[in-house]
């Protein structure tokens, strides 16, 4: 009987329950009485709006929704929502709910959902060979350019000149949205692309920029790509700045328009300042795509005469540079309909700058120490026009590019030396260079053929006028002419033809053969002229040169590339044959022949997802430009007179590098160990002799040996919770070099130990950027005569928000130098800025006071080989500036 | 006057949708993270995914594929473009959901063909939790549900009244913004969202509709006898797929997305 009763009792409960649960039924239609399908119907608690039940309308626009009895005492909201309709809400009382009289009409809405961007929770993640940094995770509201972000990214190092390094190695490409707009002048991007225009910074590991080479050659360098936000594309963005202040009239102005789209990118810059900023360093070429060793070596060494320039290592230019600088550049890339690239850039710099300082040079020899001290007022006036036009077809089976470069430079320097005696130096240097290089690469089956053709011409006339220096009777039979002028005319013409053939033996192994033919024809004339106030002096024999050089270089390289998934290996044997033929003005010909076999090996191996290592070994040979090997003397600067009794100068080098890299992305931790060793020798050895105050260097047959060792360990970690990054770096450098005096060799050992700690952190919305560097330099000769000095550098920036519009920035730099037997020289620099952001006008107003120092001079010391140089540089005066920066977003 | 009329007709023709499902879609980008090998939790597979959804349909696919399709569409319009476009790497499967028919179609490319597998839509039993938080500027609510052997915690946004979500997660009273399984091995996170009046939800051209079992059989047949499966005879012999040395380096998938059938 009990068993029969049980279902009855249960059914009673069920009946009771179903009676208490309320059901709402209804329909949802639009204003034209059409059914709205899949509208979300929800019941929410009032007032918390927690959803307790939901359903969707069916194909007839009908809905049925049940509400549990437990909400009997609650007030409820019936809510209906559908895309593109205005939401409907009605407050219900549970007890008054009726079953089926809900006939809801939704009004159409023209309001679109506003775009939503949600920050990804991961600051760094890897996707195959691409490392992605989400910029939003590293940025704060004080950041203005992408350069501000890059220096905070773990695993990436930005050196003071702007070079970006990943895993201790400089990058080989810098892309903006996949396009190489700037051809290595990427300081333009890091200084000007707004940080809020960039969504991600990508590191493309083992990046091979030429598509056709992708499976034929590997690269152990990485590239950087800035992935732009959609909102930054297809419209003009950029900034314009006006800054004026004291001392009257300090000026800092710029205008930087930028435009990025899929088919076109443009960056223009125009900047003028007289507050010590060196904006022209944005145009520094930090990598080159089409460099030719011949033309770059000849251009670099072509600036022969010079004036000593006081240096201030580790100090920003705007602390001591008195300048007037105009720098402007236009950079554009266009992608044609056939997906080829046409790009060009033109840079122009007009820079007048002054540096005042005191330079003390000590040269240590076994028995002697030479000491030269000069107080120098240097004024440089420099005009540079530099440009490039490039067209590139970069396809999987074909690559063609043509590069046309030009460069015009004029430098006028004047150095007025006040102590120990008044000397006037005038330097004029002009540089004109035009070159064109065409590259052609194509694939046929498993074979790759490449050819390059370069021609170029450079002209570098220059002169050094020295007034009132004591030259005794070095140049003339009568002592001390009032002025001596060194004139040089140098012209070179280059042709370089390169061809190579690579065959793919298997998917992983390639063999390659490369043949290069280079020809340089140079003409070099130099002469010294001496004058008194009213007449010319007759200059002795041995101070004029008149040569033509024909340099022929034949280079053959055979090698193998092996690329497995985790391991890349490359080995090549360059063979170098050089012939130099020279004619002097007396038509006397001299021939020089040299052959050299080198070896270049690289290897990289990925141990697992965290560890990898790479090595490099290279044995190479460089023939220096022949004009460095002059028979007769050249006055290089007012104190150095040098000749060379050989036709050539050459250098042999062995470079070895080892990198061990660790990264743990879940902990945002990067560790790098780099070991470098290089040794080399070059001819000639020099004999340093001093006559009065002039250093005469004469040639002695033989070789100068030198070697360099370095060990750098870097640890870099980012802690997302407190938006902080910590970098710890220790460096050891050793330089060993031979120094000759009185036919005796002395080895000198220069050691540098550096410990650096860098902190970037955000604590309670206050930004702290700190960097501490401790350097210890020890220099020892083989006879154990040693000297040492140490420096401490501390950089501290604090940004404090006052309210949402206003923040205060203080920069302070503490620099201390302790030389042996001297007290500490301490300099404290402080800058102070108040920035007010008017978001409505996208404008920053800034008031800044800069260059408040406790010293008038900054002292910097360096030691290289047997030479110690101490520079005392006069610092800029106190300045106050009001700036308005307008951002176009 | 005639010009005006022609102009208006052109505009009218341009504005009227020619094919595809209804307009006013929302476009959502998700970051997808998946620990494929539970023994190596530090190795996280990552991919950007895309959801295009409106009130009646949705399409979920790889963002790289979405970008590739856009390029291909542009190339079809501009026939002068002759450059090679790389086929994107990543997920090739697409998921099309038709809420009106309660049907889900898995679109699977296979050896140049595209197969469709139709399955009825299975509703996930979601438990609504009285908890809310702001993600971006979206006010989201929490829900928990079991699906394919994993317990997912989702945050959905009632302000965006679509049934859809990433992958096969759907059926909440608003767009699923974030979803993470309880072990933290699978995660979908909305990174951006916008409304696009011109975005249409297309089903790609499907060669034929087959069953899931048939599709698996085809895959197995290819591995067992590639020559026969491809319809090619290799010198009368058998074409074998050999494991290369590199295959060891691939990440093992011992932790698939779907742990159970339901």
Q: What is the ipTM of this complex?
A: 0.79
Cross-strand partners of A679: A654, A707
A-contacting residues in B 212-251 (Cβ below 8 Å): 246, 249
Cis preceding linkage at A249, omega within 30 = yes
Q: Which stretches does DSSP call E strand in A73-197?
A: 75-81, 88-93, 102-106, 116-117, 124-127, 130-134, 156-158, 164-166, 169-170, 173-176
Cis preceding linkage at A247, omega within 30 = yes
Q: Does A109 touch chain B (CB under 8 A)?
A: no
d(CA B98, CA B163): 11
Residues B46, B52, B57: CA angle, nearest 5 degrees? 125
Q: Does B121 touch chain A (CB under 8 A)?
A: no
What is residue A15's predicted lDDT score, i.e. its pLDDT?
A: 39
Tokens of residue A559, six digits: 């090698």
Cross-strand partners of A326: A272, A350
Of A357, A363, A459, residue with least CA distance to A418: A357
Instruction: Fill in the DSSP letter of residue B233.
Output: -
What is residue A370's predicted lDDT score, i.e. its pLDDT?
A: 78
Query: Which residues of chain B does A118 touch, with a Cβ-Cβ cutoff of 8 Å?
Result: 135-136, 138, 177, 189-193
B-contacting residues in A 309-338 (Cβ below 8 Å): 337-338
Beta-carbon neighbour count of residue A443 at 10 Å? Answer: 19
Beta-carbon pairs below 8 A across chains A and B: 118
Nearest CB partner across the interface for A396, out of B84, B100, B158: B84
Tokens of residue A285, six digits: 């070429």
8 Å CB contact between A292 and A494? yes
Tokens of residue A453, six digits: 């053709």
* Number of residues that this document lists for chain A: 889
Beta-carbon neighbour count of residue A373 at 10 Å? Answer: 13
d(CA A343, CA A336): 11
Q: Does B43 touch chain A (CB under 8 A)?
A: yes
d(CA A804, CA B160): 31
8 Å CB contact between B200 and B59? no
- Chosen for mutation from B86, B158, B199, B201 (greatest number of chain A CBs closer than 10 Å) is B158
Tokens of residue A525, six digits: 């004339």
What is the helix (H) or strand (E) element at residue A536, kind and residue range? strand A536-537
pLDDT over threshold 60, residue B149: yes
Q: Do B191 and A566 touch (CB under 8 A)?
A: no
What is residue A599's predicted lDDT score, i.e. its pLDDT?
A: 94
Strand, helix or coil for residue A159: coil
Of A250, A246, A196, A185, residue with least CA distance to A226: A196
What is residue A798's predicted lDDT score, i.e. its pLDDT?
A: 95
d(CA A648, CA A550): 12
d(CA B99, CA A371): 90
What is residue B22's predicted lDDT score, i.e. its pLDDT?
A: 42
What is residue B243's predicted lDDT score, i.e. its pLDDT?
A: 42
d(CA B80, CA B133): 50
Higher-scoring residue by pLDDT: B225, A786 = A786
Q: Do B80 and A84 touch (CB under 8 A)?
A: no
Instruction: Fill in the DSSP letter of residue A191.
Output: H
Among chain A residues, CA nearest to B53:
A83
Beta-carbon neighbour count of residue B78 at 10 Å? Answer: 9
Q: How far is A706 from chain B (nearest CA, A)?
A: 44
Q: Do A51 and B160 touch (CB under 8 A)?
A: no
Spell out the residues 6+ positions from residue A181 whose beta carbon is closer than 8 angstroms to its own: A189, A265, A267, A331, A332, A333, A343
**What is the band of B241 on the pLDDT scale with cuts at 50, 70, 90?**
very low
Residues of chain B by 3-state class (helix, strand, coil), percent to 5: 20, 35, 45
The phi and psi torsions of B5 (rounded to 5 degrees) equal: -65, -45
Strand, helix or coil for residue B200: coil
Q: Does A125 touch chain B (CB under 8 A)?
A: yes
What is residue B85's predicted lDDT score, i.e. its pLDDT?
A: 52
d(CA A331, CA A172): 19
Among chain A residues, CA nearest to B98:
A38
Tokens of residue A621, six digits: 């040979």
Q: Is A468 left (phi over 0), alpha (psi -120 to 50) or beta?
A: left
Among chain B residues, CA nearest to A36:
B55
- Which residues in chain A land under pLDDT 50? 1-19
Beta-carbon neighbour count of residue A204 at 10 Å? Answer: 23
Q: What is the layout of strands, in order, in the sheet containing A51-56?
A: A51-56, A40-45, A75-81, A88-93
Q: Do B43 and A664 touch (CB under 8 A)?
A: no
Q: Record the pTM.
A: 0.70
8 Å CB contact between A543 and A475? yes
Query: Which residues of chain B does A507 touch, with a Cβ-Cβ cutoff of 8 Å?
Result: none
Among chain B residues, CA nearest to A83:
B161
Q: How far is A395 from chain B (nearest CA, A)?
A: 7
d(CA A146, CA A401): 30
Residues A137, B255, A669: CA angle, nearest 5 degrees? 30
Cis preceding linkage at A385, omega within 30 = no
Of A119, A128, A117, A134, residue with least CA distance to A668: A134
Tokens of residue A166, six digits: 């990943």
Give burial (CB, 10 Å; 0-12/13-18/19+) of A763: exposed
Q: Do B130 and A54 touch (CB under 8 A)?
A: no
Q: Output the furthest CA–CA distance in chain A (Å, rounded).
A: 145
What is the helix (H) or strand (E) element at residue B15, kind and residue range? helix B2-15
Q: Which stretches does DSSP call E strand in A159-220?
A: 164-166, 169-170, 173-176, 198-204
What is residue A14's predicted lDDT score, i.e. its pLDDT?
A: 40
What is residue A257's predicted lDDT score, i.e. its pLDDT?
A: 96
Q: Do A50 and B141 touch (CB under 8 A)?
A: yes
Beta-carbon neighbour count of residue A275 at 10 Å? Answer: 21
């Amino acid at each position: 009987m009990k068993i029969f009763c049980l279902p009855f009792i249960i059914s009673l409960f069920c009946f009771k329950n179903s009676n208490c649960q309320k059901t709402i039924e209804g329909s949802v239609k639009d204003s034209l009485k059409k059914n709205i399908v899949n509208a979300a119907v929800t019941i929410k608690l009032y007032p918390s709006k927690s959803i307790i039940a939901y359903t969707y309308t069916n194909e007839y626009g009908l809905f049925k929704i049940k509400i549990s009895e437990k909400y009997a005492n609650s007030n409820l909201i019936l809510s209906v929502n559908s895309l593109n309709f205005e939401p409907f809400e009605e407050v219900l009382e549970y007890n008054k709910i009726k079953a089926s009289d809900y006939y809801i009409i939704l009004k159409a809405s023209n309001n679109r959902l506003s775009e939503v961007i949600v920050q990804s929770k991961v600051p760094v993640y890897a996707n195959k060979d691409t490392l992605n940094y989400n910029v939003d995770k590293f940025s704060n509201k004080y950041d203005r350019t992408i350069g501000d972000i890059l220096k905070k990214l773990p695993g990436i190092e930005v050196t003071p000149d702007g070079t970006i390094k990943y895993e201790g190695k400089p990058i080989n490409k810098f892309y903006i949205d996949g396009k190489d707009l700037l051809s290595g002048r990427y300081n333009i991007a890091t200084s000007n692309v707004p940080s809020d225009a960039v969504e991600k910074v990508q590191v493309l590991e083992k990046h091979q920029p030429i598509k056709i080479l992708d499976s034929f050659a590997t690269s152990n360098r990485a590239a950087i790509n800035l992935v732009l936000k959609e909102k930054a594309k297809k419209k003009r963005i950029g900034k314009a700045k006006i800054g004026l202040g004291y001392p009257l009239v300090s000026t800092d102005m710029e205008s930087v328009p930028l435009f990025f789209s899929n088919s076109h990118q443009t960056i223009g810059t125009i900047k003028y300042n007289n507050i010590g900023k060196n904006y022209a360093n944005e145009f520094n070429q930090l990598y080159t795509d089409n460099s030719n060793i011949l033309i770059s070596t000849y251009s670099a060494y072509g600036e022969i005469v010079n004036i000593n320039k006081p240096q201030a290592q580790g100090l920003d230019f705007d602390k001591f540079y008195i300048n007037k600088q105009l720098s402007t550049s236009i950079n554009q890339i266009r992608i044609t309909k056939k997906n080829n690239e046409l790009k060009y850039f033109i840079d122009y710099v007009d820079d007048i700058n002054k540096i005042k300082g005191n330079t003390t040079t000590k040269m240590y020899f076994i028995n002697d120490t030479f000491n030269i001290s000069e107080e120098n007022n240097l004024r440089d006036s420099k005009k540079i026009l530099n440009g490039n036009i490039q067209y590139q077809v970069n396809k999987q089976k074909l690559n063609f590019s043509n590069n046309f470069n030009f460069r015009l430079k004029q430098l006028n320097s004047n150095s007025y030396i006040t102590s120990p005696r008044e000397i006037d130096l005038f330097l004029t240097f002009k540089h004109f260079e035009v070159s064109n290089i065409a590259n052609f690469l194509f694939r046929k089956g498993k074979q790759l053929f490449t050819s390059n053709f370069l021609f170029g011409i450079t002209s570098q006339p220059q002169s050094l006028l020295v007034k009132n220096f004591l030259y005794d009777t070095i140049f003339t039979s009568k002592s001390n002419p009032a002025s001596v002028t060194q004139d040089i005319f140098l012209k070179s013409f280059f042709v370089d033809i390169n061809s190579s053939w690579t065959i793919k033996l298997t998917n992983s192994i390639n063999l390659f053969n490369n043949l290069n033919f280079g020809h340089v024809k140079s003409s070099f004339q130099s002469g010294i002229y001496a004058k008194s106030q009213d007449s010319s002096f007759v200059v002795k024999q041995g101070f004029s040169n008149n040569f033509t050089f024909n340099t022929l270089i034949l280079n053959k390289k055979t090698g193998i590339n092996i690329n497995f998934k985790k391991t890349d290996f490359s080995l090549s044997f360059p063979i170098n044959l050089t012939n130099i033929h020279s004619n002097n003005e007396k038509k006397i010909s001299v021939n020089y022949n040299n052959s050299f076999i080198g070896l270049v090996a690289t290897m990289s191996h990925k141990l697992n997802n965290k560890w990898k290592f790479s090595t490099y070994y290279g044995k190479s040979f460089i023939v220096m430009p022949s004009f460095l090997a002059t028979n007769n003397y050249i006055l290089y600067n007012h104190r150095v007179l040098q000749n060379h009794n050989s036709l050539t100068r050459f250098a042999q080098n062995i470079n070895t590098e080892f990198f061990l890299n660790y990264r743990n992305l879940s902990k945002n931790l990067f560790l790098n160990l780099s070991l470098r060793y290089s040794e080399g020798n070059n001819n000639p050895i020099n004999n340093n002799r001093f006559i009065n105050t002039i250093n005469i260097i004469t040639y002695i047959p033989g070789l100068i040996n030198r070697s360099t060792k370095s060990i750098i360990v870097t640890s870099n970690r980012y802690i997302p919770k407190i938006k902080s990054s910590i970098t710890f770096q220790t460096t050891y450098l050793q330089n060993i070099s031979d120094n000759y005096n009185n036919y005796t060799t002395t080895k000198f050992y220069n050691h540098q130990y550096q410990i650096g700690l860098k902190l970037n952190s955000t604590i309670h919305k206050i930004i702290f950027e700190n960097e501490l560097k401790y350097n210890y330099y020890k220099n020892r000769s083989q006879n154990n005569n040693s000297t040492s000095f140490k420096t401490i550098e501390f950089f501290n920036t604090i940004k404090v928000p006052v309210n949402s519009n206003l923040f205060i920035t203080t920069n302070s730099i503490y620099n201390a130098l302790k030389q042996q037997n001297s007290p500490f020289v301490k300099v404290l620099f402080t800058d102070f800025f108040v920035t007010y952001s008017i978001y409505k006008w996208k404008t920053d107003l800034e008031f800044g006071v800069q260059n408040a120092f406790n010293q008038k001079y900054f002292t910097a010391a360096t030691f290289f080989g047997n030479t110690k140089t101490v520079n005392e540089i006069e610092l800029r005066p106190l300045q106050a500036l009001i700036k308005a920066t307008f951002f176009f977003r | 006057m005639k010009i005006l009329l022609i102009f208006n007709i052109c505009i009218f023709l341009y504005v009227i949708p020619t094919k595809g499902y209804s307009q006013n879609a929302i476009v959502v980008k998700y970051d997808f993270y998946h620990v494929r090998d539970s023994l190596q939790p530090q190795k996280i597979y990552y991919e950007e995914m895309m959801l295009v959804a409106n009130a009646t349909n949705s399409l979920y696919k790889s963002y790289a594929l979405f970008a590739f399709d856009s390029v291909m569409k542009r190339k079809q319009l501009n026939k002068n473009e002759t450059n090679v476009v790389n086929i994107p790497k990543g997920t090739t499967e697409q998921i099309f959901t038709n809420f009106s028919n309660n049907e889900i179609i898995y679109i699977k490319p296979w050896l140049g063909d595209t197969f469709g597998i139709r399955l009825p839509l299975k509703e996930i039993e979601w438990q609504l939790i009285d908890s809310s938080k702001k993600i971006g500027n979206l006010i989201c609510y929490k829900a928990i549900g079991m699906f394919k052997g994993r317990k997912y915690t989702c945050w959905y946004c009632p302000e965006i009244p679509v049934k859809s979500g990433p992958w096969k997660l759907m059926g909440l009273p608003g767009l699923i913004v974030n979803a993470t399984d309880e072990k933290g091995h699978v995660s979908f996170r909305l990174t951006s969202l916008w409304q696009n009046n011109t975005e249409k939800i297309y089903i790609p051209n499907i060669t034929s509709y087959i069953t899931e079992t048939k599709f698996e059989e085809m895959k197995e047949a290819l591995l067992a006898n590639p020559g026969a499966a491809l319809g090619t005879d290799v010198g009368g012999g058998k074409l074998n797929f050999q494991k290369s040395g590199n295959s060891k380096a691939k990440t093992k998938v011992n932790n698939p997305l779907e742990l159970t059938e339901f």
